Structure 1
Amino acid sequence: MKPPSPDTVPTDVYLSFVSSLFGNRKTLFTGVFVHILTYVVVFLSTHASIYLVLCLAFAAVFGLRMYSFWLFDAADKHSFKRADIARWETRYVIGAAATASILGIGSGYAILIVQDPLAEFICIAVTMASMVSIVGRNYGSQKAIDLQTLACCLPIIIACLMSQQLYKAIVSVMLVPFGLTTRAMANGVREFLYKNVIASREISLIADRFDTALNNMTHGLFMLDADNRILVVNRKACELLNFAHPEQLKDCEFDVVLRYGARNAFIDGSLPGLIQRQMAQLVSGTLSRTLIQFNEDQFLEFSASRRADGIVILIFEDVTVRIRAERKILHMVRYDPLTGLPNREYFVELVKERLATRTRESQIGILVLDVDDFKHVNDTKGHIAGDRLLVAIAERLKEFAGTSAIAARLVGDQFMLFFPNEGGAPGIDSRIRELHAAMTGTYDVDDNSFRISFSGGYVAMSSREFRPEEWQIKVDLALFDAKSRMKGGCSAFEQEMDARYVERQKLKDDLREAVEAGKLHAVYQPMFTPDGSRIDCCEALARWIHPEKGSIPPNIFVQVAEEMGIVAGITRFMINQACRDCASWPEPLAVSVNLSAQDLRSDDIIGIVTEALEASGLVPSRLHLEVTESCLMDEVATVRSILADLRSKGITIAIDDFGTGFSSLSYLDSLPVDVVKIDRSFVRDITTDSRRFKLLCGIVDLSRALSLHIVIEGVETLEQLALIVEKNLADIIQGYVFSAPVSHEQIVEMVDNLSRRLPIVRQDHVA
């Protein structure tokens, strides 16, 4: 490899070479002292005054060189450019060459002029010795080597040649290879140092990059030797483990570091033993990855890799955020976000966990609570108030359940409790009923006060008999039984409930088949004028004759149809059948058909009615549609729009069972209504209860003030009829006093019979 030249070496290396020229100044002091002393000796020996002059030259050059060295020391080398470095090299080379020239001139003068053997020997010896020192001091500059070698050797060679002495001439020529050897030695030193400087710089750069990468890792790192001592630790590891001085950890035993951390409280006091066992498993290779909790707020995940030479690399990261997120997600999966109670799935897990730890069999209980009329709270106070009420219920439920039961939110307004009865005490039924009773009461939510009752269903069983797939069905059956009997009740599961459930499911299947196959039929209850002389309208009533059970009461199969969501099929059948039958009756006899709440949730009913009228050819004015007040509670705006569309077609709209809902009077003025059908509950006992009679009169007066047609339902006795006629309370009478529901053929016969009679009031009905 060629020795590097100043033009090819990097600037910083070039500066280091030039800086080496200005270093080690003790040799300069030694050299100038020896040089002056040598020439003084030569002067004393030869009395040649030139050597005194050369001594003064040595001193002058030395002084100038020391001044130059001082200037170099004072200069800002960080601001040096390559040209600046070259100028300083030139300054040094001039000074060094001047010193070498004085030596060469003194040696040549001794050979050519003085011709004293002692003087020649002394001068040449000192000059050659100085040339040897040139390699050690001036390797950093090729110019300095070349000029000093030339300045020392050239005067000696010239003097030897001019002396005309053959042997001196031959010996002087030998200085040429000597000079070349000196030059090569200096170049070799410079090349060697250049390689080492470059290698050192690269190693330093690599080390710096490695240190930067190591200390900017997002993971902590420990490198351990075969004796479990720390070889390398990065900054992140110290941050995660709260160590302030990473350099203090090197060569320390890893176990000692962990124990130190435990004493200084960055590790929970109960955890060091567990942590050390986990670490030992990682270091030994038993585990490759593990999650370690260092305290309540810090989770670190470690992974380890072991090399063949026994070195172990531990890499770890802070996964606290991830663990918190996972726990939050797990909490969201397990708990109801509104009430904070366990949800259905987690409730089942909790029950299984509690039962798995049991050592003996005992009675357990599961209770489901359903908030009665919760929908009314949402409808009247809004869903925000409803949600806050559920939160208040959940808080009271947790308070009453305490540690003796596990409470959960099942769905919607249903809550669930598990009574583990771990002590095996008797009376699990009484405790369940006591909690059910305690939950009933007043709940204050914001500025509202709600009187809340709960329908409850529960199952008590042996802990060994618990089957997750069965208990839900059993408590649902018990809850259904409680709600069907009376709101606010609490029923225990009984085996016959299962049979009733199976029977009801069979009834649902049969009803669906009957509706799809059109196996229902219609009967009609006529509505008479108060004097009984004319039938104004007939209410169409659905009937179902079951092939095995016979006639199924409407209140049963209609309720089942609503549960199944197929009541619209019954409505479609009844409208089509009623329109066809009414079209065969003499005009202006009308027919009235009931609509359910489900029918009024979309405008599909408008198309059904329109198609039925077109198919039957019935005049729209002869069709009456009855809606109950419960229909008006849902989606008031939608219901109003649908009824307005139907009424615009000429169809009469009636409110059925008026007076039994929550806000009856408010609907009379806001909805497109033509007829009010006053419920039978207002007619009962009007002949004996004056208060009830006055209430009936008040409703009639209000309805007449709004120009509404009045139909009174449920008139069953002649006394009731006489009082109604006397006070002129009704436009139309519907009830058994005139007729029970009959077939459509009988309606025709009744109309024919009435048309043959004189149009007089039936005196026998009012006598």
Structure 2
Amino acid sequence: MTLLAGVIVHMATCLAIAFKTGSSVYLWLAGGFFLVFCARMITFRQFDRVDKDTMSRADIERWERILVAGAACTTTLLGICSGYAIFMLHDSFSELASISVTMATMVSVVGRNYGSRMAVDLQTFSCCLPMIICSLMAMDFYRGILSVFLIPFWLTTRAMANGVREFLYENVIARREITSIADRFDTALNNMPHGLVMVDAENRIQVVNRKACELLKIGAPERLKDRDLGAVLRYGARYNFMDSSQPELILRQMTHVAEGKLSRMLIHFPEDLSLEFSASRRADGGAVLIFEDVSSRVKAEQKILHMVRYDALTGLPNREYFSHLVQDYLNRHPRKRGPLGFMVLDIDEFKHVNDMRGHITGDRLLCAIANRIEERSRKAIVGRLMGDQFILFFPHAKDAEAMDAEIRRVHAEIQGNYEADDVTFLVSLSAGFAILESDAFAMDEWSIKADLALFESKSKERGGISGFEREMDGRYIEKQKLKADLREAVASNGLNIAYQPMFKADGSRIECAEALARWVHPEKGAIPPDVFIRLAEDMGIISDITRFILMKACVDCMTWPDHIAVSVNLSARDLRDNDILAVVSEALKNSGLSPARLHLEITESCLIDEPAAVRAILAELRNSGITIAIDDFGTGFSSLSYLDTLPLDIIKIDRSFLRNIVEDGRRLKLLRGTVNLARELGLKIVTEGVETAEQLALLNKYRATDLVQGYVFSPPVPAQNVALLQEAIGRRTPLPRRRNNVA
């Protein structure tokens, strides 16, 4: 359209000059303008039909030359038009009209052709050169001056075009760079794992990425620009994505984070979504809000926290978290008055379930018991204390009688039958409890009181329940003092050893003597072995006692006749690792005693925890020449199964087999059957607790024993008396004394 307007002006000017001056040259020039216009239009049409994507640089340059040539033809005609008027016509109208149109056209060179340096130079040159030549040829001083002024005009036009071209070129390049940066920024923004919202000082959204829209479910990013952030968040609340209070919470927390009052904020949304927000204030008063989905992390932290707080097997709170729950309850009810209850439960003989049915069944039974305790305890807080023990906290009751009744109700309802792995177990739980006022509650103190009550309950009857009484504190303190005294006695070798001989069944010879620990307390006198041995096991010092007995027994045995051996009892703790091998070896080496003269006795309890490891230790001891005996045979649940699996030499029949053996024929048959089975396996028989001549006569009649140990021949004696007894036997045949008392 600009070319059409230009050619009309050019032709009209030429026709006007021709009409004014009658010069036919301008008619030809008007026709020339029309022909050039038509040619250029045809060229433009052809250029429009070319596929630009397939053009090479050479093709582009060729088309540029064609188009520039067409433009140069137009400016050449304009230069001829003006130059002819100056040189030939000498008509002021013709000169003014042609030069004005030419100069006006030259302005369009800067406005339309600045992009091509060649187009500007060629058009300016082709336009000005005819005018300069004709002005000089006119031989007129003033026209000559005018022709000289055309040169600065030419240069100025050229400089203006170059300046426009450079300016726009730099802006195009800058725009491209800005666009490229914006594209990269947009790509990074919309592919970052965090949501980002940038707001101005009025909380209007300036920038928001796709991740933010996805996490907050607030629509497409392009729809949110210049929207108020609070209104957008309330939109999410309106469509049930978030609670109605959360938009204001986010805005308030964002302000706190931006002001440095908070480093981060974590907000939980529906559908298990957790977002962590951080914000920073901008210099213009706006803020940048960044948030990320931390749902997986929160779930992992919750899982870890649950693992830390709850027992993995039963799902009940562990001891530490139980204490926290109790304290939290007390903190929430600081002014509430009334008694509180605290109970400890212990499953009776649960160990035997694991022994007979395996730990998997035992675990399932434990879970069933835990579920029932939790179900029947109502408002009480239930926790797993350890192993087969549970702990309960009962909240405020109106009085102590009501609390006592509630505790006893729970204890009664959890007794009974339980199903595990299609097996029905009759389970009883012993319980100890303490009732206290809330202002006197101290977790550790009252846990001890409940434990004391539990100990009292278990000592009375299986499945019983006892409440704490003040006398229990005294007994507990006495027990702790006794433990301290025992520890000191063991450390200072303050224990003594007595030896109970094992005679041949006819009493003709002492074959062995069992070393028995004795403790004479400086204030309390002789402490029964079953008391202080149990204390030593609880304290973990039983191995120290074993070491002391082994060392001294081997030394004492060296003072006896060579045919007499010494027997030492080993505890379950002694057989938990290989240290006992070194202790036995050291005792034999220091004393010079032959391994054949050392007997080691174990009980069935030694085999419960790690039977394979115990068998390996016993096998190594036996291979070194030491005799292995199993003590208290027949008191466990599966003693017969050990006879063909353990490296044994002797079985010691427990004294319970001899009870009423003279009067009860069934007991005698049971004893004879056990003895015959042992002898079939090549084992030697030692019968313990033979008290009367009638019992001894019956054993000899049926050849039911190889060695006899009991008061019928001798009570435990000091080490030096063992050799004296043997000497007495050598001088005469002993007549067994009739005794009715039991050691």
TM over 0.5: yes
Partner of 1:13: none
**CA positional deviation for 1:147:** 1.7
Letter in 1 for 2:12: L
Sequence identity, in percent? 59
Partner of 1:329: 304
**CA positional deviation for 1:627:** 1.7
CA distance 1:389–1:270, change in 2 (3 Å): farther
Q: Distance in 1 between matches of 2:544 and 2:232?
A: 78
2:339 counterpart of 1:384 = no
| Matched ranges for 1:666-681 at <5 A | 666-681=641-656
Query: Which stretches in structure 1 are left out of the alignment for 5+ residues?
Result: 1-25
**2:203 touches 2:228 (CA, 8 Å); kept in 1?**
yes
Letter in 2 for 1:438: E
**2:603 touches 2:630 (CA, 8 Å); kept in 1?**
yes
Q: Distance in 1 between matches of 2:233 and 2:586?
A: 85
2:400 counterpart of 1:400 = no
Q: Deviations over 1:327-351 (max 9, x none)?
A: 2222222112222111111111111
3-state SS of the aligned residue for 2:419? strand
**CA positional deviation for 1:535:** 2.6
Partner of 2:138: 163
Partner of 1:367: 343
3-state SS of the aligned residue for 1:442? strand
Q: Deviations over 1:132-156 (max 9, x none)?
A: 3322222222322222222122222
Partner of 1:568: 543
Letter in 2 for 1:694: K
Letter in 1 for 2:133: I
**CA positional deviation for 1:307:** 4.6
Letter in 2 for 1:320: S
Partner of 1:15: none
Q: Distance in 2 between matches of 1:77 and 1:147?
A: 26
Q: Deviations over 1:474-493 (max 9, x none)?
A: 22222233334444332322
**CA positional deviation for 1:543:** 0.8
Letter in 2 for 1:429: D
Q: Distance in 2 between matches of 1:683 and 1:419?
A: 49
**CA positional deviation for 1:525:** 1.8
Match of 1:691 among 623, 642, 666: 666
**CA positional deviation for 1:545:** 0.9
Match of 2:407 among 423, 429, 432: 432
Q: Distance in 1 between matches of 2:274 and 2:581?
A: 64
Partner of 2:227: 252
Q: Distance in 1 between matches of 2:563 and 2:366?
A: 54
Q: Deviations over 1:715-745 (max 9, x none)?
A: 2122222222222222222222222212223
CA distance 1:323–1:106, change in 2 (3 Å): same
3-state SS of the aligned residue for 1:670? coil
Q: Distance in 1 between matches of 2:735 and 2:261?
A: 104
Q: Deviations over 1:645-677 (max 9, x none)?
A: 333333322222111112111111222222221
Letter in 1 for 2:295: T
| Matched ranges for 1:65-464 at <5 A | 65-77=40-52, 82-113=57-88, 118-269=93-244, 271=246, 274=249, 278=253, 289-295=264-270, 297-307=272-282, 309-358=284-333, 359-402=335-378, 404-422=379-397, 426-464=401-439
3-state SS of the aligned residue for 1:522? strand
**2:713 touches 2:736 (CA, 8 Å); kept in 1?**
no
Letter in 1 for 2:658: V
Q: Distance in 1 between matches of 2:328 and 2:79?
A: 104
**1:531 touches 1:762 (CA, 8 Å); kept in 2?**
no
2:451 counterpart of 1:476 = yes
3-state SS of the aligned residue for 2:629? strand
**1:258 touches 1:276 (CA, 8 Å); kept in 2?**
no
**1:533 touches 1:762 (CA, 8 Å); kept in 2?**
no
**2:342 touches 2:392 (CA, 8 Å); kept in 1?**
yes
Partner of 1:749: 724
**2:254 touches 2:278 (CA, 8 Å); kept in 1?**
no
**1:230 touches 1:253 (CA, 8 Å); kept in 2?**
yes
Q: Distance in 2 between matches of 1:599 and 1:420?
A: 44
**2:712 touches 2:736 (CA, 8 Å); kept in 1?**
no
Partner of 1:493: 468
Q: Distance in 1 between matches of 2:224 and 2:348?
A: 68
3-state SS of the aligned residue for 1:624? strand
Letter in 2 for 1:360: K
Q: Distance in 1 between matches of 2:573 and 2:705?
A: 30
Q: Deviations over 1:400-430 (max 9, x none)?
A: 123x211111122221111113555733223
Q: Distance in 2 between matches of 1:425 and 1:747?
A: 61
3-state SS of the aligned residue for 1:368? strand
CA distance 1:206–1:439, change in 2 (3 Å): same
Q: Distance in 2 between matches of 1:308 and 1:214?
A: 21
2:577 counterpart of 1:618 = no
Q: Distance in 2 between matches of 1:118 and 1:674?
A: 148
**CA positional deviation for 1:248:** 2.7
**1:593 touches 1:626 (CA, 8 Å); kept in 2?**
yes
Q: Distance in 2 between matches of 1:727 and 1:106?
A: 157
Q: Distance in 1 between matches of 2:263 and 2:506?
A: 98
**2:503 touches 2:512 (CA, 8 Å); kept in 1?**
yes
Q: Deviations over 1:560-592 (max 9, x none)?
A: 111122222222222232222222222423322
Q: Distance in 1 between matches of 2:696 and 2:227?
A: 108
**CA positional deviation for 1:559:** 0.9
Aligned length: 738
Q: Distance in 1 between matches of 2:81 and 2:50?
A: 35
Match of 1:702 among 677, 681, 696: 677
Q: Distance in 1 between matches of 2:160 and 2:131?
A: 21
3-state SS of the aligned residue for 2:686? strand
* TM-score, structure 2 normalization: 0.92
* TM-score, structure 1 normalization: 0.89
Query: Which stretches in structure 2 are left out of the alignment for 5+ residues?
Result: none
**2:403 touches 2:435 (CA, 8 Å); kept in 1?**
yes
Q: Distance in 1 between matches of 2:262 and 2:584?
A: 75
CA distance 1:163–1:753, change in 2 (3 Å): closer
2:7 counterpart of 1:29 = no
Q: Distance in 2 between matches of 1:697 and 1:77?
A: 115
Q: Distance in 2 between matches of 1:165 and 1:308?
A: 70
Deviates more, 1:664-673 or 1:251-260: 251-260
Letter in 2 for 1:264: Y
3-state SS of the aligned residue for 2:644? helix
CA distance 1:448–1:748, change in 2 (3 Å): same
Deviates more, 1:303-312 or 1:433-442: 303-312
Partner of 2:530: 555
Q: Deviations over 1:75-117 (max 9, x none)?
A: 4445555544433332221111111112222333344455555
**CA positional deviation for 1:632:** 3.1
